């Protein structure tokens, strides 16, 4: 999303003397243009200035330095384009046009645009339609509608991709179609909705019209049993459920029939310590956020361990209690790095790409990023559970 921003310098004029020296015009103290040779030969044009960036929907960035250099012929108009990242979610592109004229002056016109990853947020604390109370899991359907596990209100809410409220599914309680500790949400290709009910040690399934269909699971540590079920995923006709306290993953078909259980407690390859989030790619590879070991573990479609990445810390590529995990259409991996209050992006092979976010309640900040999902347009949605909202970011 591009917006015109306000920059402290709009234009400047520099006077060229016969000897090739340039004097900065008094009216342009923030922009220097320095041709290094005579006006009849090739010139090196340099511009250095300080910009103050303001926007109505993004954090302000002040005193951001930019520089541009080029070697061009002075007899023609020269346009410099410079891109600078001034915050984790904001990129500023500056265009400077140098235009010579017959009187021996160079006019410099500066324009700038800003691209912000932050694309909006929705949700306030409460129990009304569209309000949220500690949202956790998040999912998207084929039409890019967004489903939010509204944990504190015991319900799943559906929104459009722009945050408009659509409908609600479930309510607080212990009966069929109710939740007693809702954590995760998933949507299958048919539009059926699934919620992981931690207090009820079960998964509940609803129709696309939000009607209760069935449930499965009970409390314990065996097949089809849960001890603090966490986030869930729907992929390839299966439902994948993370069991936080039992340190394993369970796989079911969409009718709740048990298929497989994998993982054990520990810190070795293929083991877990308090796993939380899960995602599955188009080839059936499974990605699990192993929160207690501060890493992401990867398994193939046969449930065999293949790789891991991450590690404890707050540097690039490091993690501190990771929660939700999601994949985009290019196979990139997004991790809700809970205690570092940020989102980190990795390649399919686990190489660090970028990060954004910090602690707080401002735009692009987090008070506990819990769940993350990516729609078919590669927009990223994050449940900011302490701030009771969902934040949206563009690619």
C-beta atoms surrounding 88 within 10 Å:
17
Residue 79's CB is within 10 A of a number of other CB atoms, namely 13
Torsion sign over Cα 312, 318, 324, 327: negative
DSSP designation for 17? P
Contacts of 288 (CB under 8 A, 6+ apart): 242, 249, 263, 272, 275, 277, 278, 296, 297, 298, 299, 325
| More confident position, 51 or 153 | 153
Q: How many CB atoms are closer than 10 A to CB 73?
A: 11
pLDDT tens string 60-106: 333 344 444 444 444 556 565 656 665 666 666 656 565 655 555 55
- Kindly report the average pLDDT of the chain as a whole number: 81
Higher-pLDDT residue of 279, 20? 279
- Interatomic CA distance for residues 110 and 101, integer angstroms: 17
Q: Which tens digit of pLDDT belongs to each residue from 341-389? A: 999 999 999 999 999 999 999 989 999 999 999 999 999 999 999 999 9
For the chain, how far is it from start to end, CA to CA, in angstroms? 10
Which tokens belong to 200?
A: 């009820």
Tell me: pLDDT of 14 over 50.
no
State residue 17's pLDDT score.
20
Find tokens 């810190």 and name the residue.
267
Sorted by sequence, the CB contacts under 8 Å of residue 79 that are 6+ apart come out as 95, 96, 97, 98
119, 1 Cβ separation under 8 angstroms = yes
Rounded-to-integer distance, Cα 395 and Cα 390, Å: 16
> Which pLDDT value is given to residue 319?
98
Q: Computed over its alpha carbons, how large is the radius of gyration of the chain?
A: 26
Going by C-alpha positions, the residue among 28, 244, 25, 41 that lies closest to residue 137 is 244
Nearest to 226 by CA among 195, 210, 247: 247
Burial of 287 (0-12, 13-18, 19+ CB in 10 A): buried
Question: Using the 8-state DSSP alphabet, how is residue 162 labeled?
Answer: T
- The structure tokens 């992929």 sit at 235
């Amino acid at each position: 999303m591009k917006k015109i921003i306000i920059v402290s310098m709009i234009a400047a004029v520099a006077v060229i003397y016969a000897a090739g020296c340039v004097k900065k015009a008094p009216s342009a103290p923030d922009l220097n243009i320095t041709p290094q040779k005579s006006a009849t030969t090739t010139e090196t044009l340099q511009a250095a200035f300080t910009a103050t960036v303001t926007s109505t929907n993004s954090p302000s960035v002040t005193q951001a330095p930019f520089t541009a250099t080029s070697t061009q012929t002075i007899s023609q108009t020269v346009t410099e384009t410079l891109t600078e990242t001034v915050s984790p979610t904001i990129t500023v592109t500056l265009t400077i046009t140098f235009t010579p004229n017959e009187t021996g002056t160079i006019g410099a016109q500066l324009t700038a645009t800003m691209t912000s990853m932050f694309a909006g947020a929705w949700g306030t604390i409460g129990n009304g339609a569209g309000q949220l109370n500690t949202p956790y899991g998040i999912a998207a359907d084929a039409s890019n509608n967004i489903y939010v596990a509204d944990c504190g209100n015991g319900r799943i809410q559906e929104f459009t991709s722009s945050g408009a409220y659509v409908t609600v599914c479930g309510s607080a309680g212990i009966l069929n179609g109710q939740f007693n500790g809702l954590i995760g949400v998933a949507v299958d290709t048919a539009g059926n909705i699934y919620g992981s009910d931690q207090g009820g040690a079960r998964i509940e399934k609803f129709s696309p019209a939000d009607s209760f269909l069935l449930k499965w699971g009970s409390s314990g540590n065996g097949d089809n049993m849960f001890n603090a079920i966490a986030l869930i995923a729907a992929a390839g006709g299966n439902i994948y459920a993370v069991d936080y306290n039992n340190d394993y993953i369970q796989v079911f078909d969409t009718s709740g029939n048990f298929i497989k259980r994998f993982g054990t407690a520990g810190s070795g390859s293929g083991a877990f310590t308090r796993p939380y989030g899960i995602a599955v790619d188009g080839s059936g590879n499974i990605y699990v956020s192993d929160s207690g070991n501060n890493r992401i573990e990867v398994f193939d479609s046969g449930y065999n361990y293949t790789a891991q990445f991450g590690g404890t810390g707050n540097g690039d590529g490091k993690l501190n209690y990771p929660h939700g995990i999601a994949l985009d259409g290019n196979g990139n991996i997004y991790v809700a790095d809970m205690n570092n209050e940020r989102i980190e992006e990795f390649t399919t092979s686990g190489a660090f790409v970028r990060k954004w976010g910090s602690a707080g309640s401002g735009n692009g900040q987090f008070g506990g990023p819990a769940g993350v999902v990516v729609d078919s347009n590669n927009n990223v949605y994050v449940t900011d559970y302490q701030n009771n909202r969902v934040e949206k970011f563009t690619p």
